[in-house]
Homo-oligomer: A and B are copies of this chain.
């Protein structure tokens, strides 16, 4: 399996999502035409995604001997798009983000609709309410789409989905807490990276696919040993690219994380390595629009950038070492997905 195979699989994910939502839409449209629009908004929101989690799920399935042609599996893989859609809808609302994939974020889109149609009440409140409910709808669909696969091991695999869902909410909560505190340590910032990226995007999707294929506990553990350092490394690289990368390539203005007040590992390292004066400047400037240049300099000057670069190298080596414990071909299944995972390929 190589990068081209991953591309070839994407239409099958879309097809599984479409079968699911066509049924939902037909069912709800008989109740009210407004509910057809509710389903359509969810469908449109998840369209055009990178399908990263379904693709990691498929990698776990193939590494564990799952049949590449078994279309039942596609429903299980596709279910992760609803979890991701829900997380993004709620995340954008919590962050106050105006856009998502170059379009207005959900809460902004429904806020705009409220204004343009001259509806009653607060447009902002309406946008927020619809984004909350669409996120809830998508989260409600995760298990249903997963079970639709009707694969024989669906009941044994569901506990991995349970873990994944709880961990997403837990990771988001740790992130929200970190943003509300000064002096977040490196280990706390790394915990957010582990939960929001390594476990959610890489480890659990691999586990889900592997569990559906009947992988033994030893293989699940070996997958964790690759997934965690690999997932952490690519999130750290993504953080670095977000600050020092070329906005023309990343698709986002440099320093967005600093502007949003994110307590990234780069910031935590800078606070750890810098002076008292540096720490005060971080607390003053983080989350404001005009401190980005100074904070970027500070992250380089304190040695935080170099330290994170060395963390990335260490994590990549650990992942590479662990890769040798996986069945032959695992590298080809997982490797191409990592390139898709950072901001470079947005």
Contacts and interface: CB of A to CB of B under 8 A. Distances in A.
Interface in A153-176: 155, 158-159, 162, 165-166, 168-170, 172-174, 176
B129 A35 contact: no
Copies of this polypeptide in the complex: 2
A125 interface: yes
B181 A169 contact: no
Interface in A130-163: 130, 132-137, 139-141, 143-144, 147, 155, 158-159, 162
A119 interface: yes
A133 B165 contact: no
Contacts of A129: 94, 176
A126 interface: yes
Interface residues of A, number: 57
A166 B141 contact: yes
A132 to B, nearest CB: 5
A38 B170 contact: yes
Interface of A: 24, 28, 31-32, 34-35, 38, 86, 90, 93-94, 96, 114, 119-121, 125-126, 128-130, 132-137, 139-141, 143-144, 147, 155, 158-159, 162, 165-166, 168-170, 172-174, 176-177, 179-182, 188, 191, 195, 261, 283, 287
